[in-house]
């Protein structure tokens, strides 16, 4: 019996010793400790663009496209703001001096409201969208301005409280920074900038809360144009004409200089106004080649460019980040297939509404 007790005690002691050895660090022991390499799991971004962004993510759409279920679903799931690709321009609304067609614009605005989206109005005055009947009438400056004033009041007040912002004037400067001579405004007014200033005021009077933008392309890349815009803003401020923001269209490319984009955006922000990347798309088919193939390598370049543009925008002061809007959502429908080349793939979704690498690039550029 005693023997058994002794044996049990001995086994217990050995077991305790083994446990002790097993749990004691092997410091000073010849066996080397395995280095512990922390494994960082890859960041899997589960949020959509609109969920991640701290500012609105917009897209240009049309009534016809919103009536397509796939299009509408991709738009609703990923975007939080709507721009009209053309239906809110003068030509789309102003049918005769006293005639207005609001069916399409009402549809767009109601779609946005029903889906909890904001609406950016594009655009009240664009040289390319004055209706033919208006141009043919060849009004003198007084009648021209009175009619345009009525147009602005009618349209802006109709959507008061429903549209958050308007591009009051679009593309008034030529590429050398002078005023665009082909504009009917240029041909009618001795001082076109003052006319535009009064138009901003008419819009403000019609909706005191709406944000008012000047919109143009390549302001970031073209310092002549940017400087003219900045002078106009200075003049508006001195003359107390209202202006809240600058939109740069950003119809850009994968071969555009990222540093120029970044410094140009920073320079626009020195106006102190809101900044809107208002019509973003990124072309890939540099040589307009019929045999162009959108390879993986090209997709990655496009994705990097989206990321870099979004990062540059993110580096602006938070209060000045108005929104980033892409000019469409799917490569199935892009104005570039007509205007640039049929083989173009500038947007965030494929023709089948799958997310492109470009989408991931945009998403990873967001803070």
If DSSP codes are grouped into helix, strand and coil, which group holds residue 181? Answer: coil
Q: Smallest gap, in angstroms, from Cβ of residue 248 to ligand XIL?
A: 11
Residue nearest to ligand XIL (CB): 335
Under the binding rule (CB under 6 A), the answer on residue 332 touching ligand XIL is: no
Q: Smallest gap, in angstroms, from Cβ of residue 85 to ligand XIL?
A: 5
Residues in contact with ligand XIL, counted by CB under 6 A, come to a total of 6
Q: Smallest gap, in angstroms, from Cβ of residue 343 to ligand XIL?
A: 18
Q: Smallest gap, in angstroms, from Cβ of residue 86 to ligand XIL?
A: 5
For ligand XIL, the closer of residues 86 and 186 by Cβ is 86
Angle CA 216–222–226, to nearest 5: 60
Q: Which of 55, 56, 85, 347 binds ligand XIL (CB under 6 A)?
A: 85
Q: Smallest gap, in angstroms, from Cβ of residue 219 to ligand XIL?
A: 12
Q: Which distant-in-sequence residues (6+ apart) come within 8 Å of 192 by Cβ?
A: 172, 179, 183, 185, 186
Q: Smallest gap, in angstroms, from Cβ of residue 65 to ligand XIL?
A: 11
Under the binding rule (CB under 6 A), the answer on residue 170 touching ligand XIL is: yes
For ligand XIL, the closer of residues 52 and 180 by Cβ is 180
> What is the Cα Rg of the chain in Å?
29
Q: What does residue 247 show for φ and ψ, rounded to 5 degrees? A: -105, 130
Under the binding rule (CB under 6 A), the answer on residue 249 touching ligand XIL is: yes
**CB count, 10 Å around CB of 293?**
8
Under the binding rule (CB under 6 A), the answer on residue 86 touching ligand XIL is: yes
Under the binding rule (CB under 6 A), the answer on residue 325 touching ligand XIL is: no
Catalytic residue (one of 85, 171, 234, 314): 171
Catalytic-residue membership of 234 = no
Report the distance separating Cα 49 and Cα 166, nearest Å.
23
Catalytic-residue membership of 344 = no
Which parts of 269-288 interact with ligand XIL (CB under 6 A)?
279
Report the distance separating Cα 195 and Cα 215, nearest Å.
16
Catalytic residue (one of 279, 298, 311, 344): 279
Q: Smallest gap, in angstroms, from Cβ of residue 279 to ligand XIL?
A: 6
Report the distance separating Cα 159 and Cα 209, nearest Å.
11
Under the binding rule (CB under 6 A), the answer on residue 292 touching ligand XIL is: no
For ligand XIL, the closer of residues 203 and 280 by Cβ is 280
For ligand XIL, the closer of residues 63 and 97 by Cβ is 63
For ligand XIL, the closer of residues 85 and 344 by Cβ is 85
Burial 320-359 (b: 16+ CB within 10 A, else e): bbbbbbbbbbbbbbbbbeeebbebbbbbbbbeebebbbbb
Under the binding rule (CB under 6 A), the answer on residue 353 touching ligand XIL is: no
Structure tokens at 144: 């021209």
For ligand XIL, the closer of residues 66 and 366 by Cβ is 66
Contact 179, 173 (CB under 8 A): yes
**CB count, 10 Å around CB of 162?**
16
Q: Which of 107, 186, 294, 335 binds ligand XIL (CB under 6 A)?
A: 335
Structure tokens at 134: 């208006």
Q: Which distant-in-sequence residues (6+ apart) come within 8 Å of 265 by Cβ?
A: 220, 248, 275, 312, 313, 316
If DSSP codes are grouped into helix, strand and coil, which group holds residue 100? Answer: strand
For ligand XIL, the closer of residues 120 and 204 by Cβ is 120
**CB count, 10 Å around CB of 317?**
10
Q: Contact positions toward ligand XIL, by CB under 6 A?
A: 85-86, 170, 249, 279, 335
Which residues belong to the active site? 171, 279
């Amino acid at each position: 019996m005693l023997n058994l007790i002794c044996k049990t005690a001995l086994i217990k002691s050995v077991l305790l010793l083994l446990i002790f050895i097993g749990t004691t660090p092997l410091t000073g022991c010849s066996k080397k400790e395995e280095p512990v390499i922390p494994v960082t799991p890859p960041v899997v971004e589960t949020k959509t663009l609109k969920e991640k962004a701290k500012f609105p993510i917009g897209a240009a759409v049309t009534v016809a496209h919103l009536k397509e279920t796939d299009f509408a679903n991709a738009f609703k799931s990923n975007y939080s703001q709507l721009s009209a690709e053309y239906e809110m321009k003068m030509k789309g609304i102003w049918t005769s001096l006293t005639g207005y067609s609001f069916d399409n614009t009402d549809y767009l605005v109601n779609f946005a409201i029903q889906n909890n989206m904001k609406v950016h109005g594009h655009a009240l005055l664009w040289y390319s969208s004055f209706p033919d009947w208006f141009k043919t009438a060849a009004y003198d400056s007084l009648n021209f301005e009175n009619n345009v004033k009525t147009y602005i009041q009618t349209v802006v007040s109709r959507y008061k409280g429903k549209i958050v912002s308007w591009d009051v004037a679009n593309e008034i400067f030529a590429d050398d920074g002078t005023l665009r001579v082909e504009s009917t405004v240029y041909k009618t007014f001795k001082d076109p900038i003052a006319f535009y200033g009064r138009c901003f005021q008419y819009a403000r009077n019609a909706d005191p809360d709406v944000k008012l933008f000047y919109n143009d392309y390549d302001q970031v890349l073209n310092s002549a144009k940017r400087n003219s815009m900045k002078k106009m803003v200075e003049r508006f401020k001195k003359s107390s004409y209202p202006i809240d923001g600058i939109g740069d269209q950003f119809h850009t490319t994968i071969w555009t200089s990222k540093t120029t984009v970044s410094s140009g955006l920073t320079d626009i922000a020195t106006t102190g106004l809101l900044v809107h990347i208002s019509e973003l798309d990124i072309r890939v088919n540099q040589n307009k080649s019929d045999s162009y193939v959108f390879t993986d390598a090209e997709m990655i370049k496009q994705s990097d460019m989206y990321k870099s543009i979004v990062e540059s925008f993110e580096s602006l002061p938070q209060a000045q980040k108005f929104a980033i809007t892409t000019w469409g959502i799917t490569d199935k429908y892009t104005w570039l297939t007509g205007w640039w080349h049929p083989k173009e793939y500038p947007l965030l979704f494929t023709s089948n509404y799958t997310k492109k690498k470009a989408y991931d690039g945009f998403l990873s550029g967001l803070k």
